[in-house]
Amino acid sequence: MIEALEEEQEVSSDICPRCGNFKSNCSCEDELDLPMPQGTHGPDDKEMIWDYTVVTQRRGIQDGDYDPPDEKSPYGYYKDRPIIGRDSPVIGGVYTTGRKEALVVDEKYGLLEECYEEVLQQLKHLETNGNNPKKVILGLVFKYVREKLKYDNDAVEESVKKLNAGKTDNSAVKVSLDYFINKGVGVCRHQAVLAGYLLEKFKQDGYISGKASVDRNYSDKEGGHAWVRYTNSGGKVIVMDPAQNYLGYIDKVANDRLRGIYRWSYERP
């Protein structure tokens, strides 16, 4: 369970951390927190690669699509757009994934702002009914992203394959996040980037004052993964991982593993 925070209460104890619904409307079952098979309760921290964004930078340099960092873009630029990395802005950036997909976050295509307006209307409705916006925003965003971008690896792979059809170089194809929103599917990176975008918008509009970061890492055994790390104004870190259906404080993760509950390796080195 997620307790309310003392200073900035963006996470409410009234929100189910698994489905994002108010607990009065929650139908989660206990098996959602059953351990993973083979006796593993999370990736081995020693195996995790945390500089995966740097790997994509090197690939961009090799392909001639990379420009060096500056004050506005600490990870440099890929095809003239700021690279989205740990603790960097999301809006206007590009999330690179090697040589297949470069995910662009740009409001000019229309669907991102529509998504924000939909969540904002939900928030205003709850606010009208007496709810503190800071206590429900994370739960709303978490639930919305899981519904808006259904996790479907096969559909994403097929879409990326089509986008790359006929390509004659090694560079990643630039594609807007709107493309996947329109299809209603995504994997961890699409879900994390959309969640990061929404939280960034809520901060711009003064609803929250914390900071959202799209974090990612990689292990040879379990592959790569992306999620949102949100740090509130009181310094408490909350993990929002729509792909693995987890919303909770990062300092609870290790204890969950001790209880036999699978958690990804969210803790930064």
Q: pLDDT higher for 11 or 262?
A: 262
Give the residue carrying structure tokens 């394959």: 161
The answer to whether position 156 is within a domain reads yes
The answer, yes or no, to whether residue 29 has pLDDT greater than 80, is no
- State mean pLDDT over 65-79: 89
- pTM score, two decimals? 0.83
The answer, yes or no, to whether residue 27 has pLDDT greater than 60, is no
The tens digit of pLDDT for each residue in 136-171 reads 999 999 999 999 999 999 999 999 999 988 887 777
The answer to whether position 36 is within a domain reads yes
pLDDT confidence of 64, banded at 50, 70, 90? confident
The tens digit of pLDDT for each residue in 74-102 reads 989 988 999 999 999 999 999 987 768 99
**Three-class secondary structure assignment of the chain:** CCCCCCCCCCCCCCECCCCCCEHHHCCCCHHHHCCCHHHCCCCCHHHCECCHHHHHHHHHHHHCCEECCCCCCCCCEECCEEECCCCCCCCCCEEECCCCEEEECCHHHCHHHHHHHHHHHHHHHHHHCCCCHHHHHHHHHHHHHHHHCEECHHHHHHHHHHHCCCCCCCCCEEEEHHHHHHHCEECHHHHHHHHHHHHHHHHHCCCCCCEEEEEEEEECCCEEEEEEEEECCCCCEEEEECCCCEEEEHHHHHHHHHCCCCCCCCCCC
- State mean pLDDT over 14-27: 44
- State mean pLDDT over 221-230: 92
Q: pLDDT higher for 158 or 61?
A: 158
pLDDT confidence of 17, banded at 50, 70, 90? very low
User: What percentage of the chain has pLDDT greater than the value 90?
Assistant: 58
Question: How many domains, the chain?
Answer: 1
The predicted structure's pLDDT at residue 202 = 97
Q: pLDDT higher for 111 or 269?
A: 111
pLDDT confidence of 119, banded at 50, 70, 90? very high
Write down the mean pLDDT value for the chain.
83
The tens digit of pLDDT for each residue in 243-262 reads 999 999 999 999 999 999 99
Which domain covers residue 105, as residue numbers?
A: 23-258
User: What percentage of the chain has pLDDT greater than the value 70?
Assistant: 79
The answer, yes or no, to whether residue 22 has pLDDT greater than 70, is no
The answer to whether position 14 is within a domain reads no
Q: pLDDT higher for 133 or 234?
A: 234
The answer to whether position 191 is within a domain reads yes
The answer, yes or no, to whether residue 127 has pLDDT greater than 70, is yes
User: Of the spans 10-14, 18-22, 65-69, 108-112, which averages the highest pLDDT?
Assistant: 108-112
Give the residue among 10, 48, 69 at the shortest CA–CA distance from 215. 48
Q: Are 45 and 267 in contact (CB under 8 A)?
A: yes
The answer to whether position 160 is within a domain reads yes
pLDDT confidence of 34, banded at 50, 70, 90? very low
The predicted structure's pLDDT at residue 45 = 55
The answer to whether position 268 is within a domain reads no
pLDDT confidence of 37, banded at 50, 70, 90? very low
Residues 6+ apart with CB under 8 A from 120: 205
The answer to whether position 3 is within a domain reads no
